[in-house]
Chains A and B, each alone.
Chain A
Amino acid sequence: MARGEGPPTESGSALQGRDAYSINWRLVAAVVLLQAILLVVSPPLLVFALIEVMIFALYASALNLLLSFSGMVSFGHAVYFGLGAYGLALSITHFDFPIALGIVAGPLVAAFFGLIYGILCVQLTAIYAAMLTLACAEVTYAVVFQWFDVTGGDSGISGHVPTMLGLAPYQFGLVVLCVVTVAILMLWRVVYSPLGLTIRAVGQNPARAAALGHGRKSIQLIAFVISAFFSGVAGTLFGIFHGNVFPDYVGVLFTVDGLLMVVLGGLYSFGAGIYGAIIYKLLDNLAAHYFQYWQLVVGVIIVVVVLVSPSGIAGLVRRIVDRFERRP
């Protein structure tokens, strides 16, 4: 954050007081219940869309940990998403892991690469670090794309895991709902734990955090690995959902998707990934259906968000909630 207003300081945000940090279980239960009902009653096509929204909500939330809180920008986050799916696929096809173990391996592979690349990337700051994440991502993409014998190159890997584990769409949707809910709650715990406080401190002002004894590099590395791990969880789910994996999962388009979701959702708020994924996938599915040039629509919306309401949808929601709460 070289200049500009930067992230809002804690005192100025709505997240003040002890209550704001603890999990609002009633809200969580309501959302999960609503989503579960939606999954059960919807026709399969809508269920597929809902599953995709949930998976991307997790991916974008993991990315948001970096963007909103740790003061890093990643231009290569699809790597950890895609490596989750590749970790699952390769551990089954090349190491004969049972599927259950492969599912565990996916996120761990993502976290491992998060550690390796993270060690390199935290050596730099601001735009230089972002460029290095891009370089790491492109190298990974090139290797995955070219190493035909192992990754299958362009044609990817499929058939290693039954699509949706052989469950009915709504059943798999409920599984995804459970995993994503737990993972997002864990991310919440991370952001609002003492570790998260340190991460946010480093994100807001590395010099002051360093004066308090918190080195930027180690804290940002921890955040990077956590983010890579949860991106890997999302990627593993995505790989199971489609029953395949392609180099595109590691590619720049998935990275851009994640970035746009977070900004649409609203930087510097925890819900950014969730709101962003919902809106973005809604546009993807609806606008693309009725209008050939849906990216134009997305582009215009993002321009409007950046220029008019930088706090995104999260900011809008917060304003509405505030207005209701002020009224007796």
Chain B
Amino acid sequence: MLLVQVMQGVMEGIFLFLIASGLTLIFGVSRIVNFAHGSFYMVGAFLTYQIYPWIAEGTALGFFVTIVICGLLVAALGLLFEVFLLRRVYHAEELMQLVLTLAAVLIIRDVTKFIWGLDDVSVSLPDALAGAAVIGGTYLPTYQLVMVGVGVVVLAAVWSFLKFTHAGIILRAATDDRGMVALLGTNQAHVFTSVFAIGCFLAGIAGGFAAAFESINYLLDTRVIVLAFIVVVIGGLGNFYGALYAALAVGILKALGLLFAPRLSMVIIFLLMAAVLLIRSLRRTTE
């Protein structure tokens, strides 16, 4: 029972990581707190629902192809949002940026309602992923194991991108000191746009995977964005690896909380976030 619950927590943690990593990358580089990130996740889920039947429904390969396509479509949407709207407020004060992304949440939600309606929809899992594996006497759904694998692959991909590619180096440098990066001749607008698109891609594929095991509706955005913020804050705003640990911690804590103290699980997580924020501030002032 405990193992099943921990496994559930790990899977949820990986989802959170997929969402929160995009959020934290975007914050790290462009200092934008993107409320619309949950909305991009939701769009990814709905697009998967829409596109999967068109592309070889029922096969595992078709499922993965669908999710990548959806990720790219969401990235394109994010790109448009960044280029036409967000780019104009990089120099405005923080509240204006926040409110602009909040407005995007409202707009995307109503457009989603318009296109896909108010009812829950769901995507049926491909047969190959729908079974369960027996490990140490407990049944674990294959899908959870696959998700862990997906999490590792994405983590490895983003890690090697950050570590080894030229673009990754620029991205890390921009997180440290974007003024200096601009001074050294890199076009800042391109960096901001690409990191936003990458973040949206991650949100899109997270939404795609989520579509396969939970029902999706137009309220998905707010449900997810708050948790993603918690993860980003606990991990340290802009800290990619911090987001990984925080996502796993929050995922497992939430799953165990549901087992032992279902009424308090969200309270515990928020208290953890508050404690992390305050302890960090104490450390800053003593240094």
Contacts and interface: CB of A to CB of B under 8 A. Distances in A.
B65 interface: no
B92 A4 contact: yes
A250 interface: no
A298 interface: yes
Interface string B87-111: 0110111111011101111110111
Given A1-B93, A126-B94, A127-B33, A142 B267 contact: yes
B31 A4 contact: no
B270 interface: yes
Interface in B230-287: 230, 233, 237, 263-264, 266-267, 270-271, 273-274, 277-278, 280-282
A197 B94 CA distance: 23
Given A4-B91, A128-B277, A303 B85 contact: yes
A131 B106 contact: no
A293 B114 contact: yes
A267 interface: yes
A4 B93 contact: yes
Contacts of A5: 91-93
A139 interface: yes
B99 A138 contact: no
A295 B112 CA distance: 12
B-side binding surface: helix, strand, loop or mixed? helix
B102 A131 contact: no
B168 to A, nearest CB: 25
A138 B226 contact: yes
Contact of B277 (A1, A7, A135): A135
Contact of A73 (B94, B271, B280, B281): B94
A1 B93 CA distance: 6
Interface string B14-46: 000000000000000001010000000000000
A134 B98 CA distance: 14
Contacts of A73: 94-95, 98
Interface string B52-87: 000000000000000000000000000000000100
Interface residues on B, range: 35 or more
B222 A302 contact: no
A3 B102 CA distance: 20
Given A127-B237, A302-B100, A135 B92 contact: no
A67 interface: yes
Nearest to A124: B281
A295 B106 contact: yes
A260 interface: yes
Given A293-B114, A295-B106, A296-B110, A127 B267 contact: no
A72 to B, nearest CB: 10
A216 to B, nearest CB: 12
A209 interface: no
Given A124-B281, A132-B278, A307-B85, A299 B103 contact: yes
The 4 closest A-B pairs by CB, nearest first: A299-B106, A296-B110, A299-B107, A302-B103
5 contacts: A7-B93, A131-B273, A296-B114, A302-B106, A310-B92
Interface of A: 1-7, 67, 73, 120, 123-124, 126-128, 131-132, 134-136, 138-139, 142-143, 146, 252, 256, 259-260, 263, 267, 293, 295-296, 298-300, 302-303, 306-307, 310
